[in-house]
Structure 1
Amino acid sequence: MTALNYIGIQIVENAGGLNNHSDPMSTPASTVEVSDPTLKRADLHCHSRFSIFKYFRRANTRDCYNAPEDVYKIAKERGMNYVTLTDHDSIDGALYLLNKHPDLKDFFIGEEVETYFPETGQRIHVGVWGLNEAQHREIQRLRPNIRELIPYMKSERLLFGVNHLFQNYRMKNVAGRYIAELLDMFDVFEVLNGAMASFHNKMVQQLIDTVQREHGRRISMVGGSDAHTLKHVAKVHTVSKGDTVNEFLASIRAGDCFGWGEEMRFRDLVADIYLLVLAYHGETGADLRSRDYTPADKMIQLAGRLASIPTAISGLPAAITSLNYLKQIVITKGISMRFDRLRDEIRR
């Protein structure tokens, strides 16, 4: 197979900083066409209503309200040849879709796994693709310790990679040591995440480009929308080759792939937060009528919804989103300013 060259964001090193050269990503994703008919597409990072949200669980909050069928439909309408769901620590959405539509040949199970370095508590989000139910159960058992999780997934020949490398990065960690250890563990990195700041994505790609050039490593660079609303599903995705799901995933494993699309603008991120708040309130009636919850559960859910109204009006969701976005930029700009030293640390 002819190797694919990455033709998304082009980044070059310049005095320890970042420059964006000949950036086709400045063109809206909807107007860009990859003309080679052998190229196939899949959004490797998107969520459904089955995605586990670990905060405010008693209030029945979710970080996504998309029905799996709607995610599949939108992805296909936007040109995806293959579709997956990567819900947080859950494959229930994928199983739900497959149970309703068992004949789907262009769908595969995915998951976004939250794992940890046990000595520091540093969180890492890992995309896993093409797994089955038994593997999911074992992954969930092992995920508290990344040093146990990674050997298991390698032994199972699973395709997995690091999502949004610096989103959860703790600045007290030594960046060179942190990155070097992840490079030892992973052969796939998400270099284009639709919900992350553009500067973050460019920093990750520059880092991986440098490792490949200076260390002779072949690392797969993938993209995903990280969509929590239907508006952004498949607007960032991975392009590779393969006439079947297995061939497509094998091409990604071999590094014959690239990320494509355009990140959300900051105002889109804020708008998504408020769309999620509206969706939360939209399910009030169904939750109150549901027999799955006790009266006490329903009271907590109702209290949560009432409390969310002044919270949303006060602008707190926008403020939190702004701080997270700013954190991404501060961290990645700080790393880019000492890129030469970081490269030396990784080399050692």
Structure 2
Amino acid sequence: MRNFSARADLHLHSKASNLPGGWFSKLIGCPESYAEPIEIYRRLKQRGMTFVTITDHNTIEGVLEIAHLPDVFISCEYTVEFPDEEAKVHVIAYGISEKQHEDLTKLRQNIYEFTAYLKHHRIAHTLAHPLYSVQGTKITKRLVEKMALLFDNWEVINGTRGNGVRHIEESIARTYSNWDTIRELEEKYKIKALRSREFISFTAGSDDHGGMDVGRTWTQVEGAKSLEEFLEGIREGRTQVDTERLGEERLINMITRVGYEHIKRRYHIPLEVKPFLDHIFMYSDNPLVAAGINYFLGVDVDRTQLVKKLMENLPFLAWERFLKRRSLRELAELALSLPFYAFPVFVKYAQKREEKKIKTLAKEFGISTQRTTKVAYFTDTYKEVNGVARTAQIMRKIALEEDMPFYFVVSSQEEFKEENLISLKAHLELPVPFYEELRMGVPSLMEVIDFLEEGEFTGVHISTPGPLGIMAFLAGKILGLRTTIAFHTDIPTYARVYTGDTDLENILWKTFVILANNSDRCFVPSEHYRSILISKGANPSKLSIFRRGVDTELFSPYRRQEDFWSQKLGKKVKRVILYVGRVAKEKNLDALFYVARCFPEETFVVVGGGPYRKELEERKPKNVHLVGYIRGEELAKAYASSYLFLFPSETETYAQVVLEAMACGLPAVVSSKGASHEHVEDGLNGFIATKKEDFVDRVGMLLYDEGLRNKMSAEALEKAKSLDMRKTYLDYMQAIAGMGRLAYENR
């Protein structure tokens, strides 16, 4: 038969903790708690606590209000000073009398006398949140070792702190769980140990000040059937600790509930919103109001998550209202929603900043905080037809085949989850200017943070600087993860080409430089763009060049089909000069048209789609054919069945299509601007042109000299084969994860 397990939340506060909790609450005269003791008692019992206590700061007034109720014991959280250090800690004493409280209050200035009193009177106690600073105390190894000399119980789960340092606190406690080590510390600090037993055991509590999350973290003692047996279990170290989900929502609940109560006491809450706010902050429990809130949010969540979820959704709800009415009132509502949206992010940042300090301290104890590598690869485009999406698709395929810890993340209103491909819910989708095929999903920033934290990711890679990419970058920095970015697309130049606005171009370059300099590594696909980024202010030590190979099994001269283009175009075709890529202004397709007019007997084919297609259809030469998108094996046949590749784009960051053409045996004529020319050795496997007349001259040389064309074809094929696709992508993925290096890593 299983033993009875008694449990209690051993760290929580009521209205008796009535001092301000920080500079802002002091400024507005707001205490750190308004929670009524009787409300706390009822909620603790509802949540299955066997015994009930309240641990207010240096007072027992709150718990005395419910001391007459069944299963209640008196406790207090004391701020205690080290007389030999500029340091304070929090110590919680359990099951005390009013007289003992008076005595302990007088001893708070000397932790050694204070702890000796607890030991002498056999008072159960614990050291609260041992590695977190109390009133500006600097936590050092020296201070922690003195704590280890004094306390047999450490609180290792604190509901307001998150779960990020539990492992560290437990590891340090176990380090000092033997008498030999304790004796060494006595000799080291010339302090007599006050430990009662060899090992340090653990306690847990919600540390809740608002009343909403009490009883969600607890300490239990097996077999304790009475309060005295429970307290004896704490004294003897027979405790076990457990908790519901830990997260920033507890601090959010606590701060906002205290704030709501503060406002209620000073101002009038409109009757239209009061029932909803009272339900959200657990002052009432109306099923109809609950249903209305869930309908309004479009989600059904636990009440402990409701405040956070409401803050996450407010801007999107306000945006929808603004689009419907477009009035100043809705615009003001949208502006007011943004601070609420940002609040959970700031809370999470504050928690992670504290964790970072503790992880730094852990190194002094030789405790590793490293986790198994796991990378989240964020892309605003995956299923569309473009180079960025193709790169993500190839990397996902390799990750699956090689069992690499990469997970590919998009944001879409379409819900799906495939193996290592995750879609975060898009609260709205934004069209991409001049890129009609692509709509970028906008998730909630906190949902991105939660996804990374709950998934225990160690790295974040941003392949596109769209809404999802920017949020992933911020989330990675907030969580302290390895954060890398890729410069795939020359967005600043595109912006200038389409708008003519050089100021916008400069702003976008500055944005990219900020991202590069604040990342752990920025990957650029060519030396050309590495030089540009450096000239714009990027730190050279942050930049690495990643070169991608080409699939020479898919793209091969053996894919050639003699009548491919004749069938495709519906007429007899002898030779095809091919272009593959987006049909857009930045691709310099006017140069292709110029060349086509110079060779009216030849056939020019443009493969791809984009915002410029309609305009080009209206003014293209007769010998130019725009055939739209071609994919996969058919695209490989299109390359291999052509005569040469003409690519006049001046804004390419890598030009994967040039390599694909070369792998199919096509010599390429490319622009000297951008990065396309880095694949081409001028005069050996293709030509590099500077102006449109150069394109005409080089294309003519290849058309009229078949021997030259065939020689360049063979060299182009060798160049493509030298870049093994699998190896280049594996190297790139290892560099993203921090497990390998690429060229120009620290040039």
Looking at structure 2, the residues matched to 145 and 321 of structure 1 have their Cα atoms a distance apart, in angstroms, of: 33
Structure 1 residues 196 and 313: CA distance shift in structure 2, 3 A = same
Report whether the alignment pairs 1:244 with 2:209: no
Report whether the alignment pairs 1:157 with 2:139: no
Instruction: Give the structure 2 partner of residue 333 of structure 1.
Output: 359
- For residue 128 of structure 1, the aligned residue among 82, 93, 96 is 93
After superposition, the CA RMSD in angstroms is 3.0
CA-CA distance at 1:54 after TM superposition: 4.9
Contact 1:195/1:269 (8 A) holds in 2: yes
- For residue 42 of structure 2, the aligned residue among 73, 86, 89 is 73
- For residue 74 of structure 2, the aligned residue among 79, 90, 109 is 109
The residue type equivalent to 1:329 in the other structure is E
The residue type equivalent to 1:332 in the other structure is I
CA-CA distance at 1:262 after TM superposition: 3.1
Instruction: Give the structure 1 partner of residue 259 of structure 2.
Output: 277
The residue type equivalent to 1:276 in the other structure is V
Structure 1 residues 230 and 167: CA distance shift in structure 2, 3 A = same
- For residue 8 of structure 2, the aligned residue among 42, 53, 64 is 42
The residue type equivalent to 2:243 in the other structure is G
CA-CA distance at 1:38 after TM superposition: 1.3
Looking at structure 1, the residues matched to 28 and 9 of structure 2 have their Cα atoms a distance apart, in angstroms, of: 30
CA-CA distance at 1:139 after TM superposition: 1.3
Structure 1 residues 282 and 251: CA distance shift in structure 2, 3 A = same
Greater CA drift, 58-67 or 108-117: 58-67
Instruction: Give the structure 1 partner of residue 241 of structure 2.
Output: 259
TM-score of the superposed pair, with normalisation by structure 1: 0.71
Structure 1 residues 193 and 154: CA distance shift in structure 2, 3 A = same
Contact 1:68/1:97 (8 A) holds in 2: yes
Instruction: Give the structure 2 partner of residue 22 of structure 1.
Output: none
- Secondary structure of the 2:90 match is strand
CA-CA distance at 1:60 after TM superposition: 4.8
- For residue 214 of structure 2, the aligned residue among 233, 236, 255 is 233
Contact 2:140/2:361 (8 A) holds in 1: no
Looking at structure 2, the residues matched to 141 and 178 of structure 1 have their Cα atoms a distance apart, in angstroms, of: 23
Instruction: Give the structure 1 partner of residue 113 of structure 2.
Output: 148
CA-CA distance at 1:90 after TM superposition: 0.9
Structure 1 residues 272 and 171: CA distance shift in structure 2, 3 A = closer
Q: Give runs of aligned pairs for residues 1-348 of structure 1, distance below 5 A.
A: 36-54=2-20, 60-98=29-67, 102=68, 104-168=69-133, 174-175=140-141, 177-212=142-177, 217-240=198-221, 241-284=223-266, 321-322=347-348, 324-340=350-366
Greater CA drift, 56-65 or 244-253: 56-65
Deviations 1:76-130 (A, max 9, x none): 11111111000111100111112xxx2x341100111111223433120111100
Structure 1 residues 200 and 77: CA distance shift in structure 2, 3 A = same
- Secondary structure of the 2:220 match is strand
- Secondary structure of the 1:179 match is helix
Structure 1 residues 318 and 122: CA distance shift in structure 2, 3 A = farther
Contact 2:211/2:254 (8 A) holds in 1: no
Contact 1:142/1:149 (8 A) holds in 2: yes
The residue type equivalent to 1:328 in the other structure is E
Looking at structure 1, the residues matched to 167 and 264 of structure 2 have their Cα atoms a distance apart, in angstroms, of: 37
Unaligned runs of 5+ in 1: 1-34, 287-311, 343-348
Deviations 1:287-338 (A, max 9, x none): xxxxxxxxxxxxxxxxxxxxxxxxx996797687455413321122112334
Contact 2:80/2:88 (8 A) holds in 1: yes
Looking at structure 2, the residues matched to 336 and 64 of structure 1 have their Cα atoms a distance apart, in angstroms, of: 32
More relative contact order, 1 or 2 (CA 8 Å, 6+ apart)? 1
Structure 1 residues 65 and 165: CA distance shift in structure 2, 3 A = same
Greater CA drift, 132-141 or 216-225: 216-225
- Secondary structure of the 1:192 match is strand
- Length, aligned pairs only: 279
- Secondary structure of the 2:96 match is coil
Contact 1:116/1:146 (8 A) holds in 2: yes
Contact 1:193/1:263 (8 A) holds in 2: no
Structure 1 residues 320 and 147: CA distance shift in structure 2, 3 A = farther
Looking at structure 2, the residues matched to 171 and 122 of structure 1 have their Cα atoms a distance apart, in angstroms, of: 5
Which structure would you say has the larger Rg? 2
The residue type equivalent to 1:218 in the other structure is F
Looking at structure 2, the residues matched to 209 and 71 of structure 1 have their Cα atoms a distance apart, in angstroms, of: 34
The residue type equivalent to 2:163 in the other structure is S
